[in-house]
Structure 1
Amino acid sequence: MTVTTATKGRPADLEGGGVRRRGAKGRGGMTKRRGVDWLLLAFAIVAAIVIIAPFYLILINSFKSPADYSNGGPLALPTALNFDGIIAFWERVNFPQKVWNSFFIAGMVALLAVLISVLNAFAIGIGRVRGRSWIVLLFLLANLLPQEALLYPLYYMFREVGLYNNVWSVIIVFTVIQAAFGTYLLSSVYGTFPREVLEAAAIDGATRWQILWRVIFPISRPTLSVLVIFFFIWTWNEFLIPLTFLVSNENQTVPVAISVLQGDRLMDVTTTSASALLGLIPTLLFFLIFQRTLTRGITAGAVK
């Protein structure tokens, strides 16, 4: 009887020991961190510090007076809030006008580029045109061309058609550039679209336009939202082409206005920091407003 009890009790003891061995977890059910985990965590912290450091310097130096900067240096906190640098930049470049120019150009490019990308990708990915692979390759190569190689041909063309020093010249250039990337991306996505859904819509009497706008467009809306956000931010931050084609002060964008002001002999470090801060705020607000849309669009394909 004693042997039987011990025999019956051994699996329970072993099972309990197994639970203790398999359950070697910390509090909250999380496993103990290994050395690699701590190394990755330290690397992430260092990377975050490197990324945040420039923004910190811009923020504290934007609210310093030139004398305060000379006495304390770039790393010291301001002894008192001083808005002279922000006011000087605001008045010298007419900052509201520059923000409107950048917003108008970036917004038009984002919408037009996504629209053209959808139409191109529908013809290539859904329509299955001949030479589809070569066409997609050409769109990919268009993104690899450096902007410096496009300056002279575009300059000559816009001078001939009367669009030089016009915001529409920049809109046309960036719409083509961004649409090339959008076509390459969406054509790959639409190429894997279920044929059964398209055939069912066609049997129900839907035309090609109805299939595009009532079937494909709603399903691909998260991806299109991500493209709109990226195209807007990429176009907003562009510098070389707007600097070349927008020579008048009333047509310049925010990055061009900052660079032109930095060449002024009256420029000081505090005003430079203030210009960088004011130029960063619109894109930061845009990102924060559409952060949820961006997150949903990126993770839409990860979960069925």
Structure 2
Amino acid sequence: MASASLVTTTATRQRRTRARGGMTRRRPVDWLLLALVAIGALLVVAPFYLVLVNSFKSPIDYATSGPLALPQHLDVTGIVNFWQRVDFPRKVGNSLFISGVVAVLAVLISMLNAFAIGIGRVRGRTGIVLLFLLANLLPQEALLYPLYYMFKSVGLYDNLWSVIIIFTVVQAAFGTYLLSSVYGTFPKEILEAASLDGATRWQILWRVVFPISRPTLSVLLIFFFIWTWNEFLIPLTFLASNDNQTVPVAISVLQGDRLMDVTTISASALLGIIPTLIFFLIFQRTLTRGITAGAVK
């Protein structure tokens, strides 16, 4: 009787704590967290709102209504001015070429390095991984002069491939550090089974390791592309001519012009965001699957 009474009391309490539709009642802490999340979302969305609203204003409309008000009528003069003055299609092409090549090469090199370190079990693997970690800790400012002198000597200054080489090495260092720990925990049974079937190391890499680690490699590819697209200091230093500039460099150079107005600057920021936003939306599922792949066994 006592146990039955205890079970009945517990069930009654559980029913009381549930709201309609089977949802538990929210506690004050839950509402506080929800409010903090909403405030954080507003802080993130606010800059995008300002850029979007002011991109379709005329200078007179911006001066009279201010930055927060909606445009009285849509005006694309700022977008047209930025498009024509910086040759925006060419800048997008440069950024796409640099970011795409860097992402593919960095992932490939990271996979080869991590396979040798994590699965090949080379000697001194811990020290090698630490060296790759230290390479990521070096500030870009410390690399500018040595790299400038080196690329100037070999004739690659003001060449897209100079930036591609630099970012491929930098991103591959991070990718090697990350993948080495992943490949270090790779199931030995699968590798031994492939070896018993007569597979070479090259076949094990491409037919066993690569398909299993494809979600992680996809995440690295997406991050490498976005990180390289948003880089500013190194492209500004090594791409001096107007024809070789990337989108972030073109935006910064244009903002330094005294003849620029706020609406054209907002339009430049909007056009600079759109390509990465499209890229992120296209590969959103791939990114989600890659991040959650390691959480489910």
TM-score normalized by the length of structure 1? 0.95
Distance 1:14 1:130, change over 3 A: closer
1:122-176 per-position Cα deviation (integer Å, ceiling 9, x unaligned) = 0000011111101000000000000000000000000000000000000000000
The question of 1:111 aligning with 2:104 is answered yes
What code does the residue aligned with 2:12 have? R
Partner of 2:56: 63
Give the one of 27, 33, 42 matched to 2:20.
27
What code does the residue aligned with 1:123 have? A
Q: Offset of 1:270 from its aligned partner? A: 0.1
Partner of 2:115: 122
Give the one of 161, 169, 172 matched to 1:168.
161
Give the one of 126, 134, 140 matched to 1:133.
126
Give the one of 150, 156, 164 matched to 1:157.
150
Give the one of 260, 274, 277 matched to 1:284.
277
Distance (Å, rounded) in 2 between the aligned partners of 1:112 and 1:15: 62
Partner of 1:251: 244
Distance 1:114 1:11, change over 3 A: closer
Gaps of 5+ in 1: 1-6
1:157-204 per-position Cα deviation (integer Å, ceiling 9, x unaligned) = 000000000000000000000000000000000000011110110010
1:226-262 per-position Cα deviation (integer Å, ceiling 9, x unaligned) = 0000000000000000000001011000000000000
Distance (Å, rounded) in 1 between the aligned partners of 2:21 and 2:177: 45
Give the one of 102, 120, 139 matched to 2:95.
102
Distance 1:193 1:12, change over 3 A: closer
Distance (Å, rounded) in 2 between the aligned partners of 1:186 and 1:14: 53
The 5 Å alignment of 1:254-265 reads 254-265=247-258
Q: Offset of 1:277 from its aligned partner? A: 0.1
Partner of 2:180: 187
The question of 1:241 aligning with 2:240 is answered no
Gaps of 5+ in 2: none
Distance (Å, rounded) in 1 between the aligned partners of 2:271 and 2:205: 41
Q: Offset of 1:12 from its aligned partner? A: 6.3
The question of 1:218 aligning with 2:211 is answered yes
Distance 1:140 1:11, change over 3 A: closer
Partner of 2:136: 143
Q: Offset of 1:15 from its aligned partner? A: 4.3
Distance (Å, rounded) in 2 between the aligned partners of 1:118 and 1:287: 23
Distance (Å, rounded) in 2 between the aligned partners of 1:295 and 1:264: 41
Distance (Å, rounded) in 2 between the aligned partners of 1:15 and 1:149: 68
Q: Secondary structure at the match of 1:146?
A: coil
Q: How many residues align?
A: 296
What code does the residue aligned with 2:33 have? L
Distance (Å, rounded) in 2 between the aligned partners of 1:215 and 1:108: 25
Distance 1:14 1:147, change over 3 A: closer
Distance (Å, rounded) in 2 between the aligned partners of 1:47 and 1:86: 29
Give the one of 11, 33, 37 matched to 1:40.
33
Distance (Å, rounded) in 1 between the aligned partners of 2:8 and 2:116: 63
Q: Secondary structure at the match of 1:296?
A: helix
Q: Offset of 1:27 from its aligned partner? A: 1.8
Distance (Å, rounded) in 1 between the aligned partners of 2:211 and 2:22: 41
Partner of 2:268: 275
1:191-229 per-position Cα deviation (integer Å, ceiling 9, x unaligned) = 000111101100100000000000000000000000000
What code does the residue aligned with 2:277 have? L
**Cα RMSD over matched residues?**
1.2
What code does the residue aligned with 1:285 have? I
Q: Offset of 1:11 from its aligned partner? A: 7.1
Distance (Å, rounded) in 1 between the aligned partners of 2:20 and 2:242: 62
